[in-house]
Chains A and B, each alone.
Chain A
C-alpha cells in the first residue's frame, strides 16, 4: 500500500466522527489511523490502532524530519503490523507507555514536547525493541524513493545519460 492509494475519500468531519481520539496530528479510529486532514488513512491489521499511532510517533521522534509527512513514517513501520511481529511491538509500546506514565503522563502520545518524549527514548535506547525500530527505520525511511526528493537526492541518473551534460560541475557559489 501507499497511503495515497489508500485514500478513502473520507472528509475530515467524517473521520472525526468515526474517530475515537485525535492526538499528535493523527486521528485514531476503530481499526485505523489517519491524518487529521484526511490526506491518508491506514487500516491496522494486527496491531491496535493506538499502538500503530504510537509507533509512528516514536518513529518520527527517532528520525525527526519536519518536512517529511507522517505517511512516510507509516510506510516505514507498517511491516510490523503483521501477526508474527505484533506481539513484540505491542509489548514494546506498552513498555513505552508505562515509562510515560512513570514520568507523569497519560501515555506516550499525550506528551506534548518532543524533548520529553525523546528523554524516554534515550532511557530505553539500548533495549532490543528500540534498536529494532531504529535499525529498521534506517532503510524503512531513507530507502523510500518518494522521500528522496525532500532531501534533494536524485537517485539513478543512467536513464537520463548521467550528469556529464546535466550539471555534474555546476557549482556556482564557491
Chain B
C-alpha cells in the first residue's frame, strides 16, 4: 500500500527531488520504517514511456524552467538559457545518465592537501575519506549492480569502444576496459541484460540501466512508508523562531499551493535548484538564505572539465549502436602535476545521434567545414572528457535580479569561468583524445566544446568547519540541524570521476544517519 500523509503530519521526513540522491534516500529511509514524503517537480515516466528519439525525449524529460547564464564558458554563448542538461521527472537525471559508476580515488577526498594551494581555487578537503566511504561504496555498487565490481562481469564492447581501445593501447595506455557501469551485463530470472539499443541518455527502455525511477522509488513505495507526490514543485522551506525547519511550501500540478509540515527536510533538487531553494527561503532570521551563514550556498559550482573528441575514420563505425558509454581509459585520472595541471581526467566513449550531433558538434558552426564533418557521421567515433575542475567561489548559482520562473520566484543564474587549471586539463585531454583516434586511423578529429552541464556539483559544499561550507560530514546543515542536503551539491570537490555512484553512496550513508538520529530523538 502506497503511503498517504496529511499536510499537517509533522512527523514525516520531507525530501525535495527523487533523482539519484533524493530517490535513493527516500527508499533507504522507507526501508528503515521512516515515514517519507517526496516532492517531485516532474511527472512519472517509466521505461515504456521513454522515447528513443533525441529531441522528443528532450521535450519529454528535460528541466526547461527559466534559467540564465553568465561567465566566460562557451555554454553561456551557445546555450544561454540552458546551463544544464538535466531531468525533471520522478527519477531525476538518473533517467538520463549513462551509468558510468566510478569511485573517487583516495587522494581526491583531500583535494586541498593533495594539490596544495592553487591560486584562485577554493580547494578544501572533504571531512570524510576513502576508508570511511568504502562500505558505503560497496552498498552503492550492489544497489546499482555495477559491472566489474562484486563479481559482476563487464559489458561487451561495441564498435565505438573497439576504436577507443585500439588507439589507447597503441599509445601505451593500460587501464582500458568497458567500464564500471550500472547496467546489467547478464540476464537474471526477472530482468533482462543490456540489449545494446543505444539511447542510454533517453532512458533505458529495457530497464537494464539503473534509475531510481523504476528501482528505488517503487521499492520505497512498496514498504508503505513512502509517498511520492509528482508534479509538485517545492517553492520555499519554512522555519520556526528557533531556527528549525518546519515544512515546505509547494505548488501542485494545478499551481495550487500547499504547506507540508515535516520533522526533517532534505534538499535533493540537483546543484542548481538545491541552492536556489535555500536562497529563495530567505527570511528575517536568515536574510542571506537558509543554511547560509558561511555565505557558501550557491558558490563553488562545479561541472567537471568536459569536452568531447570525435574522430572520422575511412570506414563505418556506427557509434550509436550499443551502450552510449561503452568504455573508458583511466590512465590520465592519476595525480601528476608534471602534465601542467592538478587533478586528473577520464576518457569515456560517447555517442550522439545525428540530431544531437548537429546541435553539439560545433554549436553555431556552419558551412562546408561543418557539413563535411556531419557527412562523416557514420564513420565517426566519439569520446567524452570528464576531469576535476577547480572550485571557485565566484562560480555560482545566484538568484537572478530580473528573470522569474513560472511561480514568480527569482530564476537561477549560473555563472561559470574556467580556471586556468581547467583550461590546461581540457587542452591536454583534447590532445590525448585526438592522438588516440589518430593512432586508430582517424583521418580527421574534432575537439568539441562542452555541452550544457550534465554533472552539476558543489553548490552546498560539505565542510568540517561551519564557516567553510554549508553542510557537515552527514550532509546536515551547519546552521539548521533538521535540514539536510542529499544530492551532488554537497560535494566539496568534484574529483575526476562521474559523480553518481558517490551521490548514491552518500545518500545511503545519510539515510543511516538520519534514521539513527530520529530513533535517538536527536532530530
A residues near B, CB below 8 A?
62-65, 67, 118, 125, 134, 138-139, 141-143, 148, 151-158, 161-164, 167-171, 173-174
Contact = CB atoms under 8 A, between A and B. Distances in A.
Contact of A157 (B52, B367, B440): B52
B162 interface: yes
A138 B166 CA distance: 33
A49 B156 CA distance: 54
A162 B197 contact: yes
Interface string B349-377: 00001110111000010111011001101
Contacts of B105: none
A171 B315 CA distance: 9
Interface of B: 52-55, 156-159, 162-163, 166, 194-199, 205-206, 314-318, 320-322, 353-355, 357-359, 364, 366-368, 370-371, 374-375, 377-378, 440-441
B354 A174 contact: no
Given A164-B195, A171-B317, A155 B53 contact: yes
A154 B53 CA distance: 11
A43 B35 CA distance: 63
Interface of A is mostly: loop
Contacts, number: 114
Nearest to A133: B366
A84 to B, nearest CB: 22
B366 A157 contact: no
A156 B53 CA distance: 7
A167 B89 CA distance: 33
Contact of B205 (A64, A153, A155, A158): A158
B315 to A, nearest CB: 5
B163 A62 contact: no
18 contacts: A62-B367, A63-B374, A138-B358, A139-B359, A141-B358, A143-B358, A152-B316, A154-B321, A157-B52, A157-B197, A158-B199, A162-B196, A163-B196, A167-B321, A169-B157, A170-B318, A171-B159, A174-B440
Contact of A169 (B159, B166, B357, B440): B159
Contacts of B321: 154, 157, 163, 167-168
Contact of A151 (B52, B317, B378): B378
Contact of A171 (B53, B162, B358, B371): B162
Interface of B is mostly: loop
Nearest to A167: B321
A163 B322 contact: yes
Q: B194, B197, B316, B441 — which one has the most chain A CB atoms within 10 A of its CB? A: B197
B158 A169 contact: yes
Q: Which 10 A-B pairs have the closest CB atoms?
A: A152-B378, A162-B195, A162-B197, A156-B52, A142-B358, A168-B322, A168-B196, A153-B354, A171-B159, A163-B321
Contacts of A168: 156, 158-159, 196, 321-322
Contacts of A161: 195
Contacts of B196: 162-164, 168
A125 B159 CA distance: 38
Given A162-B196, A164-B196, A65 B374 contact: yes
